[in-house]
Homo-oligomer: A and B are copies of this chain.
Amino acid sequence: MGTQPAALSLLALAGIPLVKTGDNLVDIVMHGLAQSQAELARGDVIVLAQKIVSKAEGRQVALNGVTPSPRALELAAKVGKDPRLVELVLSESKEVVRTCPGVLVVAHRLGHVMANAGIDQSNVNQGDDEQALLLPFDPDGTCRRIRDALRERTGVDVAVMIIDSFGRAWRNGTVGTAIGVSGMPGLLNLRGEPDLFGRELQTTELGLADELAAAASLIMGQASEGRPVVLARGVPYARREGTASELLRPKELDMFR
């Protein structure tokens, strides 16, 4: 961390179109960079909103094609949600963590503890039918592939992240949170680093990718802005491969589920 820059900048790329199934996200990022008169530099991080990744991957599901299981029907009645949505949530989850009227918190198959398995219905074009949008299939892998393709096209090694808005225990409001990472640490280990007085730090792990996800979320906007790609420059990180799964606390070490 000794070479940590003292300035961080985040730019929401201009000219990002509505993303459809099959769209190439690398083309979209390159287009956004050109429209923003921005060029990639070594150490930059490209941050993508979950929604455009899910859409490009065709993760929309038509709700009227979903048949709820008995378990989904029962749970839907308990939480007051559409049984078809609950069926999708269960199919994307490995564990129901908490329920109460209006709330369904699960452990997603990727490991994230989150409401509704990250499935939502805002900013999804409905067309003739109600659609739900699932999380990307393999966010860490998608980040790696986008990173490789960006390096191939530009010659520059950047990191890539996919983020989503998560609710939290104990606190109101969602915050941007990393669900996919490549080219930077998810978690930064500070163990053994001295503090200002030369004593070993007590707080030894920093949720680096989650902090950057929150920063990027600030300028992406949650409503109609349509700014789903952010270029971050000046993020202090040791260059190594990393994943979002580093940020997941194993269930056996988690006191809150």
User: Which residue numbers of A lie inside 8 Å of B, CB to CB?
Assistant: 1-2, 4-12, 14, 18, 98, 100, 103, 105, 112-113, 120-126, 165, 168-177, 186-188, 190, 193-197, 199-203, 205-208, 210-215, 217-219, 221-227, 234-236, 246-249, 254-257
Contact = CB atoms under 8 A, between A and B. Distances in A.
23 contacts: A4-B219, A4-B227, A6-B12, A6-B227, A8-B218, A122-B203, A125-B197, A165-B203, A169-B169, A171-B177, A171-B248, A172-B207, A173-B210, A175-B207, A175-B210, A175-B211, A193-B222, A194-B223, A201-B222, A213-B214, A218-B235, A218-B236, A221-B236
B190 A222 contact: yes
A176 B199 CA distance: 21
A254 B171 CA distance: 8
A222 B211 CA distance: 13
Contact of A172 (B7, B195, B205): B205
Contacts of A121: 199, 202
Q: Indicate how many identical chains form the complex.
A: 2
Given A168-B207, A256-B256, 16 more contacts: A1-B222, A1-B223, A1-B224, A4-B227, A122-B202, A169-B254, A171-B177, A171-B249, A172-B249, A173-B205, A175-B207, A175-B210, A201-B223, A203-B222, A213-B214, A221-B236
A250 to B, nearest CB: 9
B98 A206 contact: no
Given A103-B255, A256-B256, A219 B6 contact: yes
B234 A123 contact: no
Nearest to A211: B214
Query: Which of A173, A212, A227 has the most chain B CB atoms closer than 10 A to its own CB?
Result: A173
Contact of A98 (B1, B186, B256): B256
Nearest to A170: B113
B7 A8 contact: no
B208 A256 contact: no
Nearest to A209: B173
A238 to B, nearest CB: 13
A8 B10 contact: yes
B100 A193 contact: no
A254 B190 CA distance: 31
